Amino acid sequence: FEITAQTASLFKTPYLNTVVSEDVDGVQYAAVLKNVYAIGTGIAHGLGYGDNFQSVFVANAAGEMKKFLRSSSSLSTPINYAASVYLGDLLVTCYSLFSRNRSFGNMIGKGYSVEAAKLAMQMVAEGYPAAKSIHELSISCAAHTPIASGIYDILWEKKDAATVFAELEKVLV
């Protein structure tokens, strides 16, 4: 732990904070999930959902992420899922107008096909392949992920985005 803390301190600057965590898998899964949820936020925007719905969507996505991380974790120590590495990264990726994943989702919500959106982006939206991986992981660890599953259904099963979001409205609290 001491070597890890020393290494982390080498990267710390007034503009960059480093944090040492034992939750290596959780941090990685959170980085993957936030891209999937950002696509969902973009889809919602493209479908014409307003800011209030998007705030409910992201709050529920944060809760779903927390449940997924708990179901996939082998750590016995409690984790602060409100930390910036989890929640902060999710928020900026979902709300930033510069987010590739949100932009990709916005195109999907406006009716672009996945292939057309990929071509129009000319950049990689990591959440697209991540949606498939998370879907498979959710099944293997028996995690209930209706939001991530809905995004998977839109992107990979070619389900209608408006229909999927109408169903998601029923489960969001």
Question: What's the pLDDT tens digit per position in 31-80?
Answer: 899 999 999 999 999 999 999 999 999 999 999 998 888 887 766 666 76
pLDDT at 81 over 80: no
- Check residues 164 and 17 and name the one with the higher pLDDT: 164
pTM for the whole thing?
A: 0.89
Model confidence at 16, pLDDT cuts 50, 70, 90, reads confident
Model confidence at 15, pLDDT cuts 50, 70, 90, reads confident
Report pLDDT for 78: 67
**Is the Cβ–Cβ distance between 93 and 72 less than 8 Å?**
no
Q: How far apart are the first and last CA of the chain?
A: 40
Report pLDDT for 75: 67
**Is the Cβ–Cβ distance between 75 and 23 less than 8 Å?**
yes
Please name which of 156, 160, 135 lies closest in space to residue 147, comparing C-alpha atoms.
135
In sequence order, which residues have a C-beta less than 8 Å from that of residue 101 and are 6 or more positions away? Answer: 35, 36, 38, 39, 42, 93, 125, 126, 127
Distance CA 65, CA 144 (A): 10
**Positions marked catalytic:** 34
